[in-house]
Structure 1
Amino acid sequence: MAPYAAEDSQDGGGAGTGTGRRRAARYAVPAAVIGVAAATIGLVPALADSGDPDLPKTTAQELLRKIAASDTEQLSGTVKIHTDLGLPSLGGGAAGMLGGAGGGEGGGEGPSSADPKAKLTELATGTHTLRVAADGPDRQKLSILEDAAEYSVIHNGSDVWAYDSKSNEAYHAKDTGRHDAAGDRAKQREDELPATPKELTDEILKASGDTTSFSVDGTSQVAGRDAYRLQIKPKQSGSTVGAITIAVDAKTGTPLKFTLTPASGGAAVVDAGFTSVDFGKPAASTFDFKPAKGTKVTEADELKGKELKDHELPGKGERPGDHPQRAPKGAEGVEGAEGLKVIGEGWTSIAELKLPEGAGLAGGGAAKGDVPADAQKFLDSLGDRVKGDFGTGTVYSTRLVNVLITEDGKAYAGAVTKEALVKAAEAR
C-alpha cells in the first residue's frame, strides 16, 4: 500500500491529504500507536547503528515517496525485539489475583499453546530474538527464538501453520481470503500484527494527517546498509509520543529500523530494526511445514464454535445481520464499535467507551464490588485517583498509553497525558 501520498507536503498538510484521510486520522493515529506499542512487535538491533554515510541530500517528501514506492517482497533476516511500556510485572501472585489471566475459560488463552493470538502478545514486553522471511504476499515466516525452543508462524499459500517446539503443539488455519467467520477473524488478527519495520511504518504513516510533521534527521547504517533517518513528530501538545524515527534503506526504500520515543524522555518505548537482512529470494523450503508424528494439532475450525458462542449466535429465526451489535469489536472498524466515541483528532485523539456491567475494573461503579479485595488493592496501587466534574476515577499509566476509568463506568484511553484524559472526561 502507499502509506503517504507522494504529493503531500513535508509537514503533512498539503493538498494530497484528503478529507477521508483526515477523518481516518481522527482515530487511526492512537489506534496505530497503541497497537504497535502494546500488542505487537518492536524490533531493535543487537548492536547500535554504526557510521554516518555520506548520501545524496533528500527531503522528507522525497523519502516518503521512496517508502510508498518500495516494492520489496522478498527478504530474510534476524531481528531483536524490545518493548518498554513501563508496565509492572503481572506474573505470579498478581496474575492470580486478577483471575489468572491467560488461563482457562475467558482468560484469553487458546486451547493450544501454538495459537498465535496468545503467543504473539508475549512480544509486547521484554527482549526477544526473531528470524523473519518473506517471498511475496503468499509466503511469510516469523520465528521467535527462545532458550532451547522455537515458535514459528508460517504462511504458505492457503495454509497458515504455527508451531511451538517447547510443547510440541501446532495450530493450523486455512487462508481462504474470508473474514466473516470466527476462524477467519482469528486469521485476520494474525495478519494485523506488524512483524517488520515496514509494517510498523505503514501503520503510522497511513494514519498521519495535518497533525504531523516530517523531517530528515541525517543518515545512519543499519544491518550494514546505508539509510536515511525520517523523523515524525506530533504537532499537537498533550500527546505522550515524542518522536518516531525510521531508518529507510537508501537503495530499496524499505524501512530497516523503527524507534518510538515518549515525550517524557528516556529509553524508547518501541525500537525496531534488523540486525541482518538479505533482499534475495528465500529458499522455498523455508516455508515448508509438516507436523511430525506425535505433534498435537489444533485446527482453527475447531475453535469456531467457541468463538461464535462468545459473540452470541443468532436465535431461532434470526439472521446474523439482525443484531449488528453482536459483531466482535473491530469487525467494522473503530468507529463502528458499540458504545465507542472518539474525542479530538490526530495524536491527541481519545477513545471513550462505556464499560459493560461487571467489568471488574477499579473505579467502575457497581462493578467494583465484583473484584476480590486483594485484586482491588492491587489495581488501586497501579493507578492514580483523580477528581473532576465527572466525579472520581482512576488513571492507569504506561510510558505511552494512559487510561482513565471513572466511577460511572466509562473508560477514556489514548496516547495522551493524564491531564488530557481528565479534561476530556470533564467535557462530556
Structure 2
Amino acid sequence: MRRRMLTPIVAAAAVLAVAAFSHGLVASDPPRLPGISPLSLLKKVGKPQTQAVSGTVKLTVDIGLPKLPKLGGDGGADPMRLLSGVHLVRLATDASGSGSSSDSGSGSGSGSESESESRERIGIQDTLSEYDLFRDGSDLWMWDSAHQTARHGSVDSVTSALLSFASPSDLAKTFTGPSAVKTLLFDTAYSMRDTRRVAGRDCYVLQITPHSDGTTVGSVEVAVDAATGVPLSVSVYPTGSSSPAIKAEFETVSFSADPSELRFTPPPGAKVVEEATPDLPANPVHGAGTDWTSAAVIGGVDPQKLIAGLGTPHGAAQPAPEGFAAVLAALAGTPGTPLQSYLRMMMADGAKTPVGVVWSSRLVSLVFTPDQRLFVAFATPESLEATVAAEVGHS
C-alpha cells in the first residue's frame, strides 16, 4: 500500500523552532471560533474551499542532519539546502485546472491525474539570489538566478516529492489524508488545541499523537484556516522533544495565485539546459510496513554510484549521472565536491547491519540495502530494520 507518510523526505535520502507571532497578535489572544470535532476538521481539510494558494512560507528543518554546504562554487540559493536550517520560500499553487468542479480534484484524496494538472511555483530565497521551481502539469523548469541558468525537464515521482516538501498543505496530507487516517486511526489520538492566528488568519489547531512503538514522531500540530480548510502551519515534533524537527508555516497567505507567477520563460541571455529524463523505474517509490513506522522505498539507489555521479561536471568526457543521481544533480545543478563529501560523511557514519547500512537522526532513519534500495521512515533504527527484513523476506 502506497502512502504519503514520507513523501516530504524521500527526494534527498535524508531529510523541516521558531514560532513567530503573526501581525503583532499575542499568544494570549486566540480567536473565538465555533466548536468543531477533530473528525469534522479532518473532513474540512479533505475538502478545502479553494484550490489556489500563494504566500511566503517560513520553513524550519532540524532533524539532526549536519548543516548542508553551499553547493554552488559562489553560493546562491538551491533546493538541497531545504533539508536543514531556516528558509523563506515563496509558494504559489493552483490545482483548479485538475477537475471539472471545485470539489472534484480537491483534498488529500486527489489522484495522480489531478496532481499531473497542477501548476505551482516554489521560490527559495537567499540573500542575493533565488532558486525557483515551476511545475506546469508534468513540465518542470528550474531557474538558478545566481548562475543565470534555466534547466528544463519533466516531473517524476521523486521530484514531485521534493516539490511537496515546502508546502504546508502538502505536508499536512502526510498526516491528515484519507489513507493516513484509515491506517492510523486505531493507534493515533486526534484532539483539538487552542485556536490561533497564522498569517493573520483564524485557525483551528489539530494535534495528532501516535500511540505505537517504534515511531520517532511524538506529535504533529496542524493549524487549519477556519474559513477555507487550508492547512497554514504544520509542526512535527520528535518523541520526547518540545521543539519541532519540521515546521512549515505561512507568514503571508492569499487564497489566489497570479497566473503570470506560475509560468516561466527563460530571460534573455540565460543559459538553458535540457535535462534528459532520468532512467528510473516506472514506479521508483513505494511503501513498506504499516502504521507510523511504515517506510518509503526508493529503488535503484547505489550509494557509491550516486556519490560518483554527482561529481560529473557538465561537458566532461565522463558518463552523465544516472537514475537517482541524475535527479539530485538536476535539482542541485551538479553540485560536485561539497555534496559528494557530505554524502560520504553520512555513509561513513552509518552502521553495518544484516539488512544493510543504517543511518538515523532524531526523526528519520535510513537503510541502504545491498540490492540498491533505500528505505526511509519516521522510525527508530531497530523498527526500520525489522520493516526492511520483512520486506526482503517477501521479495
TM-score of the pair, normalised by structure 2: 0.67
Among 199, 209, 213, the residue aligned to 2:170: 199
Match of 2:378 in 1: 415
CA deviation vs aligned residue, 1:4-35 (integer Å, no higher than 9, x gap): xxxxxxxxxxxxxxxxxxxx3xx526534644
* Structure 2 gap segments, 5+ residues each: 98-117, 307-340
- Mapped pair 1:294 → 2:269: yes
Q: 1:264 to 1:330 in 2, by over 3 A?
A: farther
Cα distance between partner residues in 2 of 1:408 and 1:157: 33
Identity within the alignment, %? 31
Tell me, in whole angstroms, the C-alpha distance in 1 between the residues paired with 2:50 and 2:168.
Answer: 12
Distance of aligned partners of 1:79 and 1:425 in 2 relative to their CA distance in 1, 3 Å threshold: closer
Please tell me whether the aligned partners of residues 44 and 272 of structure 1 are also in contact (alpha carbons under 8 angstroms).
no
1:322-378: per-residue Cα shift (whole Å, max 9, x none)?
Answer: xxxxxx24616516xxxxxx3x411123578999888589xxxxxxxxxxxx99995
Q: Aligned runs of 1:377-392 on 2, under 5 Å? A: 378=345, 382-383=349-350, 390=354
Distance 1:274 1:211 in 2: 27
1:403 counterpart residue number: 366
Alpha carbons of structure 1 residues 284 and 375: separation in structure 2 relative to 1, 3 Å: closer
Name the counterpart of 1:228.
204
Q: Could you tell me which residue of structure 1 aligns to residue 132 of structure 2?
A: 152
**Distance in 2 between residues matched to 1:158 and 1:29, nearest whole Å:** 19
1:138-159: CA deviations, max 9, x gaps? 5432211111112222346886
Task: Report if the CA contact (8 A) 1:211-1:236 is conserved.
Answer: no
Aligned pair in 2 of structure 1 residues 146, 172: CA closer, same or farther (>3 Å)? same
- C-alpha distance in 1 between matches for 2:173 and 2:343: 39
The answer to whether 1:345 aligns with 2:345 is: no
Separation in 1, partners of 2:291, 2:3:
8
* Mapping of residues 310-325 of structure 1, within 5 Å: 311=279
Residues 1:58 and 2:10 are matched in the alignment: no
Contact 1:163 1:171 in 2 (8 A): yes
Query: Contact between 1:79 and 1:129, CA under 8 Å: does it hold in 2?
Result: yes
User: Is residue 261–residue 269 contact of structure 1 (8 Å, CA) maintained in 2?
Assistant: yes
- 2:87 aligns with 128
Q: 3-state SS of the aligned residue for 2:363?
A: coil
Deviations 1:364-418 (A, max 9, x none): xxxxxxxxxx9999557624567xxx5x975421111123568999976532223
Task: State the secondary structure of the residue aligned to 1:131.
Answer: strand
3-state DSSP class of the match of 1:211? helix
Paired letter, 1:247:
A
1:59-74 to 2 correspondences below 5 Å: 59-74=37-52
Distance 1:426 1:198 in 2: 33
* Corresponding position of 2:240: 264
TM-aligned CA distance change 1:52 to 1:329, over 3 Å: farther
Cα distance change, pair 411–160 in 1 and its aligned pair in 2 (3 A): closer
CA distance in 2, matches of 1:167, 1:260: 34
2: distance between equivalents of 1:395 and 1:262? 19
Q: Is the 8 A contact 1:168 1:296 kept in 2?
A: yes
1:189 to 159, 163, 172: 159
Is 1:385–1:395's contact at 8 Å kept on the other side of the alignment? yes
User: Cα 1:202–1:332, aligned 2, differ >3 Å: closer, same or farther?
Assistant: same
C-alpha contact (below 8 Å) 2:8/2:161 kept by paired residues: no
Change in 2 beyond 3 A, CA 1:168/1:393: closer
Structure-1 separation of matches of 2:281 and 2:46: 30
Match in the other structure for 1:176: none
Counterpart Cα distance in 2 of 1:58 and 1:64? 10
d(CA) in 1 for partners of 2:90 and 2:197?
Answer: 20
For 1:354 and 1:152, locate their aligned partners in 2 and report how far apart those are by CA, in whole Å.
27
Q: 1:77 to 1:34 in 2, by over 3 A?
A: closer
Q: CA deviation at 1:204?
A: 2.8
From the superposition, tell whether residues 37 and 347 of structure 1 become closer, same or farther in structure 2 (CA, over 3 Å).
farther
Report the Cα distance in structure 2 between the residues aligned to 1:289 and 1:204, rounded to whole angstroms.
Answer: 32
Structure 2 residue matching 1:259: 3-state secondary structure: strand
Contact 2:9/2:161 (<8 A) preserved: no
Deviations for 1:180-199, whole angstroms, at most 9, x for unmatched residues? xxx4538x724762142111
Larger Rg: 1
In structure 2, do the counterparts of structure 1 residues 36 and 46 end up closer, same or farther at CA, with 3 Å as the change threshold? farther
> How far is 1:232 from its partner?
1.5
Q: 1:422 to 1:334 in 2, by over 3 A?
A: closer
Identify if the C-alpha distance between structure 1 residues 235 and 90 changes in structure 2 by more than 3 Å, giving closer, same or farther. Answer: same
Residues 50-106 of structure 1, C-alpha deviations (whole Å, 9 max, x = no match): 4322211110111011111213123321111111111124649xxxxxxxxx89xxx
Which ranges in structure 1 are unaligned for 5 or more consecutive residues?
1-23, 93-101, 104-112, 174-182, 312-327, 336-341, 362-373
User: Would you say the 8 A contact 2:11–2:161 is kept in 1?
Assistant: no
Residues 37/199 of structure 1: CA separation in 2 closer, same or farther (3 Å cut): farther
Q: For residue 218 of structure 1, what is the aligned residue in structure 2?
A: 194
- Between the two proteins, the alignment pairs up a number of residues equal to 324
Work out whether 1:85 is the aligned partner of 2:63: yes
If the length of structure 1 is used for normalisation, what is the TM-score? 0.63
- Residue aligning to 1:75: 53
